[in-house]
Amino acid sequence: STEMIHSLYDGLIRASDIYNSPIIGGDITASPGSLVISITVNGSVSEEKIAYRSGAQTGDAICVTGDLGAAYAGLKILLREKAVWGQESNDTEFAPDLSDYEYVVKRQLLPEGRNDLIETLEQQNMTPTSMIDISKNALQDLMQLISSSKKGAQIFEAAIPIALETRAVADELQDDVTQYALQGGEDFELFFTLPEKQVNNLVNHFKDFVVIGRVTSQNEGFRIQMASGEEMHFDLSEMSQA
């Protein structure tokens, strides 16, 4: 509908304002089926400011912005309510009450890029040794970064940032919240590595990140120290090199 197209463009304009990315073109073509949207984003950066996936160094701190698992918690709630709606399909008055799940549902439906971190790094003239966004899932994306850097990693489960709202959903559905955080995906936070000596400087100017582990030598592998004391090992050999 015309109203839907206007709403779509309103959202694009808001996003362009937030991320300082002007819209320079657009085309609308009729489709016999579903709505299809294709967007290309171009940018530029000086070579010395590029943070590749492959630059992590032994001893670096492994950092992550925000919290993990909320988007997956939101998806679980939406799928549950969709199933209930299907059972109540004859009830035209039925409407799900998502007020108790506002945070996690928003994280699923309205993800935001962490340009606040990027701006702070630019202001402080800091460049992470490596960086990757969290789209597939946190575990796979971090393993990709470590594999690309030809290093190992030691991660601490107790340090993984998980929002109270995410924990509440996992408790309600009797799920393992660490699985939400590590394997849920679509959080669109950022993993990045920094020399230990730079972490305190960043903390003074940017609060929404935590250190969850450290980069180790390649022969030490990829390990997660669980809160129970158990150490889990993951195979990096099948990860593609980026």
DSSP assignment of 111-151? ----HHHHHHHHHTT---SEEEE-SS-HHHHHHHHHHHTT-
pLDDT attached to residue 90: 63
Q: 169-200 b/e with 16+ CB inside 10 Å = b?
A: bbeeeeeebbebbbbbbbbbbbbbbbeeebee
Query: What residues have CB less than 8 Å from 190, skipping those under 6 apart?
Result: 64, 65, 114, 117, 131, 132, 133, 134
126: nearest Cα among 172, 79, 63, 184: 63
The Cα 226–Cα 206 span in angstroms is: 27
Answer for the pair 112, 188: CB distance below 8 angstroms, yes or no: yes
- Considering the domain boundaries, does residue 151 fall inside one? yes
Residue ranges making up the domain that contains 208? 45-71+109-234
- Considering the domain boundaries, does residue 227 fall inside one? yes
**Could you say which residues of the chain have pLDDT below 50?**
241-242
- Considering the domain boundaries, does residue 9 fall inside one? no
- Considering the domain boundaries, does residue 64 fall inside one? yes
- Considering the domain boundaries, does residue 50 fall inside one? yes
CATH number of the domain encompassing residue 179: 3.90.650.10
pLDDT attached to residue 241: 45
pLDDT attached to residue 202: 98
Q: What is the tens place of the pLDDT at every residue in 47-91?
A: 989 999 999 999 999 999 999 999 999 999 999 998 887 766 666
- Considering the domain boundaries, does residue 7 fall inside one? no
Answer for the pair 198, 127: CB distance below 8 angstroms, yes or no: no
Query: What residues have CB less than 8 Å from 145, skipping those under 6 apart?
Result: 53, 56, 130, 131, 132, 191, 193
Number of structural domains found in the chain: 1
In the structure encoding, which two tokens stand for residue 175, read together? 């799920």
pLDDT attached to residue 94: 67
242: nearest Cα among 127, 133, 151, 145: 145
pLDDT attached to residue 116: 96
pTM of the model: 0.90
- Considering the domain boundaries, does residue 23 fall inside one? no
3-state percent helix, strand, coil for the chain, nearest multiple of 5: 40, 15, 45
- Considering the domain boundaries, does residue 49 fall inside one? yes
